[in-house]
Amino acid sequence: MPIRVLVVDDSMFMRRLASDILNADPDIEVVDTARDGAEAIRKVCRLRPDCVTLDLVMPGQDGLTTLRRIMAECPTPVVVLSAHTRRGADLTVECLAAGAVGFVPKPSGELSLDLEKVRTWLTDEVKAAARSNIAGITSPIVSRIRKGRHPKGASDKIVVIGASTGGLQTLRAILAALPADFPAPMIVVQHVPTALFSQSLTESLNAVSEPPVTLAANGQVICPGTVYLAPGGYHLTVEPWSNQRSPCGTAKAGTTVFHLEGAAPGALSPSVDITMQSVSGLYAENTVGVILTGMGHDGVAGMRSIKQAGGKTLVQDESSLVFGMPKAVIDAGYADRVLPLCEMAQAIADAVASDEAGGAPRQEGAALV
């Protein structure tokens, strides 16, 4: 049975163009369209589509307000279409925090005559959203780290988290559960198209995280207790500091800095695999790898490199909004622990505090994976 989609946009042209693109995929059927937020809510409740594509800028009730009402009145997976601008990026991140599963930036503004350029992106996001875990969208809950159950003082460990579709809600829930004195640096690799969206994402994460969240920069020294977000459009690696290779004049011998390299056009960026392989090559058994919600298999090679280096690997279970990236790592046999979202922050703290190397893969509360 095809995925049933409701297309919401105030422009008749954009409704027709988006519908034509989606209907061209044999696995998708546009069951109706709506030209404003009020009509969208009525049709969502009546038609019960598998997914909604939602324009953000509409007269009267805007996309964000419409999304919040959909999630409150008739929870449905939503993919937002946004302008590729700073304002569009900010609105997109607000929508992701409010429950949208994914987003697709319009290539040339609100009236994108060239929406065809993102045809594959749009259809992939719709398919992922339709298969997403709606319970995880509406109530991403993570238990705060228990008193006395988190490491104290500076740590030699480093945490690398990979996420994609559905990542913002999941990351916000995990970071909100961490204490301000979390001792290890943490690198977050979340798939985003450009650094423009990364900046908005950084601000959203910083609003709920006690450890400070910052956008990683070329030559930046990696410090304990800080969360670094890999910028979109680049691949992020780590390297020992040297005067010749880093513009950071405050680093000392033995410290580690970031290196950014522009990703090729059309490449998946930032790449979870590239960052994890780089970090495990430098930090070896002190690396803690985490794979969260997302479609695809980015992170499999990275988690393999962490396992081979003697580090620890944690993977989200089927509580993932999109159980693609986590399942790929589990199926490949590179997960030391497979956990529900509610236990992930504590598991990260335990891995940082432990001196033991990664063990055999196991599902929490069950037999070995």
Residues recognised as catalytic: 164, 191, 298
Residues 296/324, Cβ–Cβ less than 8 Å: yes
Residue with tokens 């620890």: 312
User: Long-range contacts for 30-34 (Cβ within 8 Å, ≥24 apart)?
Assistant: 30/5, 30/6, 31/4, 31/5, 31/6, 32/6, 32/7, 33/6, 33/7, 33/8, 33/9, 34/6, 34/7, 34/8
- Which amino acid appears at position 190 of this protein? Q
- The distance from CA 348 to its chain's CA centroid, rounded to whole angstroms, is 17
Token pair of 115, please? 């929406």
Integer Cα distance of 313 and 159 in angstroms: 10
Closest CA to 96 of 64, 66, 120, 124: 64
Q: To the nearest 10°, report the CA torsion of 226, 227, 233, 234.
A: 50
